[in-house]
Chains A and B, each alone.
Chain A
Amino acid sequence: MSNRPTNVVIAGLGGQGVLKASDILADVAFSSGMDVKKSELHGMSQRGGSVSSDVRFGERVFSPMVPEGDADFLVVIAADQVPVNAAALRQGGTLIEPSLIDEAALTNKKSINVALLGVLSRYLPFSVEAWTAALKRNLPEKLHEANIQSFSMGRAKEPAMGRAS
């Protein structure tokens, strides 16, 4: 199955940085030389409603949308959005949820999206340097430090903490 792309769905609520997290993930895969597609719906969802974004990367990606029930990873930023998005995850896929992160320890509480990317990063073949560069490219300079800290915190988590469905 080497031709099968890696499928990631990132979900949460409008304003939580779902799209920012998917931009960073797409960027790190792109800068690592992979084919990448990223897709989400804009519009009404921005007004505090449910938001999700699909990122797919690998040797060759066709559809920009993660097929139903075929996500290898489901990253959910708002705990109450887990049931809404659970059907996206494939059998044996990995759920990455906010309870994995000690929010109190984050310098910037809003950077939980990036902390969860840190958890996700343990499963993916991209170097810390590539992640750091992608974070810097996608975030304003004044947020770099806090987000790199959040990312490192997430990355330090044991992979076993991620609950397989």
Chain B
Amino acid sequence: MWRTGSNQKLAQGLNKLRKISGLSVTVQKTFLRGQSPLSFSGYLRGVKPPHLSALSFPADYLCAVIAAAGKILQSCTLNSRLKATGFTLNSPQHDHAPALLSGDEAVALAALDAGVALGTGYPGTPSTEILETFETLGGRAQWSPNEKVALEVGIGVAFAGARALVTMKHVGLNVAADPLFTVAYTRLDGALIVVSADDPGMASSQNEQDNRRYALAAAVPMIEPSDSQEAYEFTLKAIEISERWQVPVLLRMTTRVCHSKTIVRRGTVAIPAARPAHFEHDYPSRVRIPAYAKPAHRRLRKTLAEIAEWNDAKGPNQLVAGSKQLGIITSGISFQHVREVAPEASVLKLGVTYPLPIERMRAFAASVERCVVIEEGDPYLVEAARTAGIAVEGKQEIFRFGELSASRVRRILKGDCSPEAKPVPGRPPALCPGCPHRSVYTVLRDLNCIVAGDIGCYSLGVLPPFEAMDTLVCMGAAIGVGLGFRHVLPPEDAKRVVSVIGDSTFVHSGITGLVEMVYNPPASVHVLLILDNGTTAMTGMQEHPGTGRTLAHAKTGKVVFEDLARSLGVRNVHVIDPTQDLGRFQELIQSCLAKPELSVVIARRDCLLATRAIREFERCNEQPAN
């Protein structure tokens, strides 16, 4: 997390900057997240002009400062922010140099180039790096308690005429579905881009839901990139669609698009400058009482028909001319596999996959002898084609499960449904040696508890040697599921039930569960165990409202779990470090299980992997600003 070498370089760079510019510059703090050159975040406070202005920019730009004395920074990306402090930047040749970027980084870069005013989201693999990179590049980004709130903040930004980017993993869209379905009925003044990062194959998710269905259900246009270049271009295209038709747009990514690195060239798409935020009353467009919502639904369907017409005529769909014998309709990452295994085929690659360019699909299918739809996950495209009366072949049911790959696409084309080779099982992940969760699960196992669990690193408590987690459904479910057990199990079992939830997950959607616990307490009461390791560890150490630090690790308001629990009326609230004395921790859990009143136990110990960084953040936040 912390690289001395780079910090020295940063300090040297800032010294040089000070000399060249005559500006008084002090390194306020420097943090390093991740390891790519894009992921260095530095803060710099200049005292000319008189107001302080905080900037953040990547290490390679600072290294460029060192390398090119007299030229100042070699990037245009910070131009606007730096101008405010009296710098000018120039080095156009650097601006559009190709770079090897992940899809997530490319979305962030596009957001920056488009002047997105605010990025919001909740961390979730494979979407997390988008906001982190956006912030690192100089954009304004923040973690929300959960995806619903993130989307609502984004809606406010777009109502005010500015551009908003909201990021989440696929299951996050379930949480944000409520605002999504209704914002579709409103009229936006700015742009609202909602990134849904799907995880076919469940590399790190609890299900492999196909969020293309959300576009259809919520009547929200959707665009799907197939590599990082398209992630960059389609983000800009999504903003264009959003502003032209005043609707939200779903930018649907998948794990392999988010996390694969491919070459990106910037500046390939022109986009009008973002407009400044402003407010005008417009009740009929933004207040969704039935009187206003009824005409809004009709207007929405009309807008979608217009977008479909545009998509047919000039949407970002790509035709690869090839053989008349085989035609393939595809989108997203599947396009890359198709090009790999069937270079001879004609291909219609769809960019905007809702509303679909049905007439283009019809014409394409008619132009080839055999038309196959290659898509990962649900039969979304194939069903839409068939509903429109287009004769296409789909994939066999076994290929609905898991990711596609070049070899699976080859099998689909051949109709080969023979059993696939099972991968040799690798070493499963495990809780780190010395992880504070280890103490917790040792005790829960030894006490023979029934554990309603939740999502995070601590989900690994289900695996040997602990096997001490009995349920995991969705973010925050530990509390409700635990209460359900308590309500109906026979007393001798009910009293063994414990709900276990992590700190970030508790803030995300456990607080309402705690309210339920106070409001509808089971006869046998209940024990809630909050595992507070001071970070969102599973997704790579992101901050959350319980850490009291922002996405950029600066000091901010802090939600204190024990105070919150007490304010809700829980009297039996304990805070304990589970690693200090295992015996004492066990006694505490035992006594709470035996007590005839609700208990909340906060097992507080920083994640081992984050301890050093947390200490450093705190140290920096204590220093007075220069």
Q: Give A contacts to B, CB under 8 Å.
A: 13-14, 20, 23, 26-27, 30, 35-50, 61-65, 67-68, 80-81, 83-87, 137-138, 140-144
Indicate whether A39 sits within 8 Å of B259 (C-beta atoms), given known contacts A68-B405, A87-B424, A140-B3. yes
- CB <8 Å contact, B203 and A62: no
For B429, give its contact among A39, A47, A144 (CB under 8 Å): A47
- CB <8 Å contact, B203 and A65: no
Contacts of B407 in A (CB 8 A): 67-68
For A47, give its contact among B260, B262, B432 (CB under 8 Å): B432
Asked if B421 is an interface residue, CB under 8 A from chain A, the answer is: yes
- Shortest CB distance A117–B (Å): 16
Report how far A26 CA is from B425 CA in the complex, Å: 27
- CB <8 Å contact, B203 and A30: no
20 additional A-B pairs beyond A38-B260, A49-B428, A87-B421, beta carbons within 8 Å, are: A20-B35, A30-B263, A36-B100, A36-B262, A37-B260, A37-B261, A38-B100, A40-B259, A45-B429, A48-B430, A62-B340, A63-B333, A63-B340, A65-B256, A65-B406, A83-B424, A85-B424, A86-B424, A137-B37, A140-B5
- What mask results when residues 253 to 275 of chain B are scored 1 for a CB within 8 Å of chain A, else 0? 00110011111000000000000
Contacts of B3 in A (CB 8 A): 140, 142
Indicate whether A39 sits within 8 Å of B426 (C-beta atoms), given known contacts A47-B431, A67-B406. no
Contacts of B209 in A (CB 8 A): none
B98, closest chain A residue (CB): A30
Asked if B77 is an interface residue, CB under 8 A from chain A, the answer is: no
Asked if B394 is an interface residue, CB under 8 A from chain A, the answer is: no
For A84, give its contact among B6, B256, B333, B424 (CB under 8 Å): B424
For A36, give its contact among B263, B333, B340, B430 (CB under 8 Å): B263
Q: How many A-B residue pairs have CB under 8 A?
A: 130
Contacts of B36 in A (CB 8 A): 23, 138
A40, closest chain B residue (CB): B259
- Shortest CB distance A42–B (Å): 6
Enumerate B239-257 residues with CB–CB distance to A below 8 Å: 255-256
Report how far A121 CA is from B181 CA in the complex, Å: 53
- Shortest CB distance B254–A (Å): 11
Contacts of A86 in B (CB 8 A): 424
For A140, give its contact among B6, B256, B339, B423 (CB under 8 Å): B6
Report how far A63 CA is from B538 CA in the complex, Å: 28
Asked if B9 is an interface residue, CB under 8 A from chain A, the answer is: yes
- CB <8 Å contact, A42 and B203: yes
- Shortest CB distance A65–B (Å): 6
- CB <8 Å contact, B337 and A62: yes
B126, closest chain A residue (CB): A42
- Shortest CB distance B202–A (Å): 10
Report how far A86 CA is from B424 CA in the complex, Å: 9
Range for the number of chain B residues in contact with chain A:
35 or more
For A67, give its contact among B5, B340, B421 (CB under 8 Å): B340
Most interface-central of A13, A41, A87, A137 (chain B CB within 10 A): A41
For A43, give its contact among B203, B261, B337, B423 (CB under 8 Å): B203
B335, closest chain A residue (CB): A62
- Shortest CB distance A129–B (Å): 17
Report how far A85 CA is from B425 CA in the complex, Å: 9
- CB <8 Å contact, B429 and A46: yes
Asked if B298 is an interface residue, CB under 8 A from chain A, the answer is: no
Contacts of B35 in A (CB 8 A): 20, 23, 138
Contacts of B405 in A (CB 8 A): 63, 65, 67-68
Contacts of A38 in B (CB 8 A): 100, 260-262
B124, closest chain A residue (CB): A43
- Shortest CB distance A80–B (Å): 8
B199, closest chain A residue (CB): A43
Report how far A43 CA is from B333 CA in the complex, Å: 19
- CB <8 Å contact, B4 and A84: no
- CB <8 Å contact, A30 and B426: no
- What mask results when residues 123 to 137 of chain B are scored 1 for a CB within 8 Å of chain A, else 0? 001100000000000
Contacts of A36 in B (CB 8 A): 100, 261-263
Enumerate B306-334 residues with CB–CB distance to A below 8 Å: 333
Asked if B427 is an interface residue, CB under 8 A from chain A, the answer is: yes
Contacts of A63 in B (CB 8 A): 333, 336-337, 339-340, 405-406
Report how far A111 CA is from B516 CA in the complex, Å: 52
Instruction: Give 11 A-B contacts (CB < 8 Å), ordered by A residue.
Output: A14-B429, A36-B100, A36-B261, A36-B262, A46-B429, A48-B429, A64-B256, A68-B407, A80-B427, A140-B4, A142-B3
Report how far A67 CA is from B423 CA in the complex, Å: 13
Indicate whether A141 sits within 8 Å of B262 (C-beta atoms), given known contacts A42-B203, A44-B429, A81-B426. no
Indicate whether A37 sits within 8 Å of B262 (C-beta atoms), given known contacts A64-B336, A67-B340. yes
Report how far A36 CA is from B8 CA in the complex, Å: 32
Enumerate B414-473 residues with CB–CB distance to A below 8 Å: 421, 423-432, 457, 460
Asked if B91 is an interface residue, CB under 8 A from chain A, the answer is: no
Contacts of A140 in B (CB 8 A): 3-6
- CB <8 Å contact, B260 and A64: yes
- CB <8 Å contact, A44 and B426: no
A31, closest chain B residue (CB): B100
- What mask results when residues 21 to 52 of chain B are scored 1 for a CB within 8 Å of chain A, else 0? 00000000000000111000000000000000
Contacts of A40 in B (CB 8 A): 259
Indicate whether A41 sits within 8 Å of B336 (C-beta atoms), given known contacts A35-B263, A67-B406. no
- CB <8 Å contact, A44 and B424: no
- CB <8 Å contact, B423 and A87: yes
